Chains A and B, each alone.
Chain A
Amino acid sequence: KAGVTQTPRYLIKTRGQQVTLSCSPISGHRSVSWYQQTPGQGLQFLFEYFSETQRNKGNFPGRFSGRQFSNSRSEMNVSTLELGDSALYLCASSWDSQSSGNTIYFGEGSWLTVV
Chain B
Amino acid sequence: QKEVEQNSGPLSVPEGAIASLNCTYSDRGSQSFFWYRQYSGKSPELIMSIYSNGDKEDGRFTAQLNKASQYVSLLIRDSQPSDSATYLCAMNSGGYQKVTFGIGTKLQVIP
Contact = CB atoms under 8 A, between A and B. Distances in A.
Interface of A: 31, 33, 35, 42-45, 48, 50, 55-56, 58, 88, 90, 92, 94, 97, 100-109
Contact of B97 (A43, A56, A107): A56
Interface stretch (B17-25, B37-45, B59-67, B74-82): B37-45
Contacts, number: 66
Interface of B: 31-32, 34, 36, 42-46, 49, 51, 88, 90, 92, 94-104
A109 B101 CA distance: 16
Given A43-B88, A103-B34, A56 B95 contact: yes
B96 A31 contact: yes
Given A42-B102, A42-B103, A42-B104, A100 B97 contact: yes
Nearest to B100: A45
A11 to B, nearest CB: 16
A104 B42 contact: no
Contacts of A43: 44, 88, 90, 101
Contacts of A107: 43
Contacts of B42: 108
Contacts of B92: 100-101
For the residues of A in contact with B, the DSSP-based class is: strand
Contacts of A35: 101
Nearest to A49: B97
A102 B88 contact: no
A100 B100 contact: no
A50 B44 contact: no
B44 A90 contact: yes
Given A42-B102, A56-B96, A101 B32 contact: yes
A107 B43 CA distance: 7
Contacts of B88: 42-43
Contact of A106 (B44, B95, B104): B44
A90 B32 CA distance: 20
A100 B46 contact: no
